[in-house]
């Protein structure tokens, strides 16, 4: 399985050169979901989702996420 960050609007993948590409082969392959989400947060990437691609399978799984609101800023 390969794990990528994908822009939701363009479907482009994030590369090591800090650019976007149509080809997943040129994208950063993260070691796990958490690493991809942390990378996106640390680098200020917005409107992205994690994509799981499986070898020899005709499908992939898209996992959207959003940055959590810090508990201290939640008002009840």
Q: 14-69: per-residue pLDDT in tens?
A: 999 999 999 999 999 999 999 999 999 999 999 999 999 999 998 999 999 886 65
d(CA 70, CA 2): 30
- Looking at per-residue pLDDT, the higher value among 74 and 8 belongs to 8
d(CA 15, CA 12): 9
d(CA 30, CA 74): 31
Question: Could you give the 3-state DSSP secondary structure of residue 29?
Answer: coil
Phi, psi of 38 (to 5 degrees): -60, -40
How does residue 8 score in pLDDT terms, banded at 50, 70 and 90? very high
pLDDT of residue 42: 95
């Amino acid at each position: 399985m390969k794990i990528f960050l994908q822009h939701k609007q363009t479907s482009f993948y994030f590369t090591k050169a800090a650019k976007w590409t149509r080809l997943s082969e040129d994208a950063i392959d993260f070691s796990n979901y958490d690493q991809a989400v942390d990378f996106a947060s640390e680098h200020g990437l917005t409107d992205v989702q994690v994509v799981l691609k499986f070898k020899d399978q005709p499908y992939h799984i898209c996992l959207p996420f959003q940055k959590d609101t810090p508990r201290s800023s939640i008002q009840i």
